[in-house]
Amino acid sequence: MEFNLEVHLIIEGTGLSARGRFSARSKKEIPIVAHQYIKSIKHETGYRTSFIEGVMVNGTVDITEEVREIENRPIPPMDDIFW
């Protein structure tokens, strides 16, 4: 499924807005795709201190909290990774 994504971030006190058209296999995957997009923006800006102000899908659906939840998940310990 195709969807429009609009992201609003605050990076070290400066507002940034980005948007684009993305695809996902299901509605459950949309917050994950949004988080990956935000990670790519952070990579481009040098991983500066940032805050997710808002994430909108198709201009009407607010998924900000779902994306923040993904962002704040703890990193799993290396013992759980199977090679």
SS3 labels along the chain: CEEEEEEEEEECCEEEEEEEEEECCCHHHHHHHHHHHHHHHHHHCCCCCEEEEEEEECCCEECHHHHHHHHCCCCCCHHHCCC
Q: What per-residue confidence (pLDDT) applies to 79?
A: 73
82 — pLDDT class (breaks 50, 70, 90): low
pTM to 2 decimal places: 0.86
φ/ψ (deg, to 5) at 23: -130, 150
User: Has residue 36 got a pLDDT over 90?
Assistant: yes
